């Protein structure tokens, strides 16, 4: 059995891509997209026609509506290839506006409904700011399920659990990147691999907290830099993986053992924690890595969204 098939026995495998032509060979359950992945895809010759058709079909519509329709078109194509859910992201420029995030998410879901897609097959991706988490709480009460992304801290995870969001995506690779850069010449790659990887440790802490305290929010490790990080999180509820790393897992036959199990988490002595807005903001302020990476991630997604705007306008 290859590592990908072995991993599927203990975690739900999710494809992290906008290039839906790559998905079938890996047979993932779900798929995730983001502005950067969609931007990368629409610049490929295979997707030029999809971009052009979207613009022509909705000529004269507001740019933000055309953008959402493009995202939904990609989502529908992906859903035709997988049995599960697709995650579609709200414009990152709304990350600090609860009302606007809710309205945009509602429109995206309405566009999916018009395409005949059941809302159970769509997760709305929202940046895990305080405002984003508040928006997600409102959407969940409306039956619209959410995926809180750009998650780098335990405080963000606690707030998401309190809000009752369906799923969170803690970013393993970007946490790893920050710590490696901060350590500079002192970084020891072999000593900080596997279970000692700071990104892996962050996800494990969140997973244990959720399982110990009966929090229903699913944990989906994301943003991997290597297969070692993935294998170290085998047993996590879900793992969203790029096609490149899926291919590496598929070609390897090294053993895979479940590192995370709910029963082990439940046996741990872990304090229950809840955060109000002031406590959340203070915790984020104290966490330099999380503050840096959240801000950087929002800026990067905004930059790529503006590039998509330019392509749609052109």
- Distance CA(41)–CA(195), nearest Å, equals 33
Long-range contacts at 62-69 (CB < 8 A, ≥ 24 apart): 63/309, 63/312, 63/313, 64/91, 64/104, 65/107, 66/312, 67/91, 67/305, 67/308, 67/309, 67/312, 68/104, 68/107, 68/108, 68/111, 69/111
Catalytic residue among 125, 211, 212, 293: 125
Q: What is the DSSP letter of 214?
A: T
- Distance CA(79)–CA(15), nearest Å, equals 12
- Distance CA(8)–CA(32), nearest Å, equals 17
Q: Which neighbouring-strand residues pair with 126?
A: 148
To the query of whether residue 125 is one of the catalytic residues in this protein, the response is yes
Buried b / exposed e across 28-66, counting CB within 10 Å, b at 16+?
bebbbbbbbbbbebbeeeebeebbeebbeebeeeeebeb
**Cβ atoms of 215 and 161 closer than 8 Å:** yes
Pick from 138, 41, 58, 42: which is nearest to 98 by CA? 138
- Distance CA(225)–CA(144), nearest Å, equals 31
- Distance CA(77)–CA(110), nearest Å, equals 17
- Distance CA(214)–CA(270), nearest Å, equals 12
Active-site residue set:
125
């Amino acid at each position: 059995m290859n590592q990908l098939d072995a991993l599927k026995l203990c975690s739900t495998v999710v494809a992290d891509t906008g290039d839906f032509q790559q998905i079938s060979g890996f047979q993932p359950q779900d798929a995730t997209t983001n502005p950067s992945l969609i931007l990368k895809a629409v610049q490929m010759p295979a997707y030029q026609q999809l971009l052009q058709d979207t613009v022509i079909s909705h000529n004269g519509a507001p740019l933000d509506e055309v953008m959402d329709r493009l995202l939904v078109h990609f989502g529908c194509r992906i859903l035709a290839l997988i049995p599960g859910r697709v995650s579609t992201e709200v414009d990152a420029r709304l990350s600090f506006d609860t009302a606007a995030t809710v309205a945009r998410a509602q429109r995206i879901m309405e566009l999916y409904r018009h395409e005949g897609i059941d809302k159970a097959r769509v997760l709305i991706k929202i940046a895990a700011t305080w405002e984003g988490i508040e928006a997600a709480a409102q959407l969940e009460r409306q039956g619209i399920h959410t995926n809180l992304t750009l998650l780098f801290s335990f405080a963000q995870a606690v707030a998401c659990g309190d809000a009752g969001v369906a799923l969170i995506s803690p970013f393993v690779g970007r946490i790893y990147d920050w710590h490696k850069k901060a350590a500079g010449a002192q970084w020891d790659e072999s000593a900080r691999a596997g279970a000692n990887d700071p990104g892996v440790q962050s996800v494990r802490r969140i997973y244990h907290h959720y399982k110990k305290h009966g929090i229903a929010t699913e944990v989906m490790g994301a943003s991997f830099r290597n297969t070692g990080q993935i294998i170290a999180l085998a047993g996590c509820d879900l793992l969203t993986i790029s096609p490149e790393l899926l291919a590496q897992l598929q070609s390897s036959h090294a053993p895979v053992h479940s590192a995370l199990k709910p029963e082990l988490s439940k046996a741990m002595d872990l304090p229950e924690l809840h955060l109000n807005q002031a406590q959340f903001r203070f915790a984020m302020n104290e966490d330099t890595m999380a503050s840096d990476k959240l801000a950087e991630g929002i800026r990067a997604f905004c930059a790529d969204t503006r590039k998509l705007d330019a392509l749609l306008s052109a």
